């Protein structure tokens, strides 16, 4: 792919580039922050005291993850293949609970599904071992 789609694909899916590593790190920080906020909201006293701020943060992360999901779909050659892939399903499940909470009360408790996005950490760590092994082979 060339043009914007190619650059987006390289940044989002290729962790061996500087932009790809930066994207992965920022995404992982956002995932961890969103999971921490969901956990804080579940603490009754903290949730009652900071409920509005936590709800605003939840919507911020949901919109951020929705945009990321849409950009992933845009940047791949076969969007439906990505949507049905393991990570595509996890990404969709991470954003659905907030939207469902508008229609189905209580479904926001499904936000803990976002923790599954932490699986991306393992993908990045797995690639890091290959980079070290490649450097050993080159010397």
Residues in the chain: 139
Mean pLDDT on 111-118: 62
- Six token digits for residue 37: 């906020």
pLDDT at site 112: 61
Average per-residue pLDDT for the chain:
79
* pLDDT tens digits, one per residue of 63-83: 999 999 999 999 999 999 999
**Nearest-5° angle of CA 134, CA 124, CA 116?**
155
What span, in angstroms and rounded, lies between the C-alpha atoms of 74 and 128?
A: 27
CA distance 72 to 53: 28
117, with CB counted inside 10 A (0-12, 13-18, 19+), is: buried
What confidence tens digit (pLDDT) does each residue in 20-53 have?
888 888 888 888 888 788 788 878 898 889 989 9
Query: Radius of gyration (Cα) for the chain, nearest Å?
Result: 17
The two tokens of residue 61 are: 């992360």
Q: Which helix (H) or strand (E) holds 123?
A: helix 119-138
What percent of the chain has pLDDT above 70?
A: 74
pLDDT of residue 134: 45
∠ at Cα 14 (27, 129), nearest 5°?
90
pTM score, two decimals? 0.76
Dihedral sign from CA coordinates of 100, 103, 104, 105: positive
Start-end of H helices in 14-102 = 18-42, 44-49, 51-75, 79-84, 86-100
DSSP 8-state secondary structure symbol assigned to residue 131: H
């Amino acid at each position: 792919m060339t043009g914007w789609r190619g650059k987006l694909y390289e940044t989002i899916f290729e962790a061996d580039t500087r932009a790809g590593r930066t994207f992965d790190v920022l995404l992982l920080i956002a995932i961890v922050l969103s999971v921490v906020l969901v956990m804080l909201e579940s603490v009754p006293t903290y949730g009652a005291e900071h409920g509005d701020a936590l709800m605003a943060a939840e919507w911020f992360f949901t919109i951020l993850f929705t945009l990321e999901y849409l950009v992933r779909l845009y940047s791949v050659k076969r969007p439906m293949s990505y949507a049905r892939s393991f990570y595509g399903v996890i990404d969709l499940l991470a954003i659905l609970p907030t939207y469902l909470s508008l229609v189905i009360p209580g479904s926001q408790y499904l936000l803990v599904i976002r923790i599954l996005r932490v699986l991306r950490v393992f993908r990045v760590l797995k690639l890091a071992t290959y980079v070290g092994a490649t450097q050993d082979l080159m010397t």
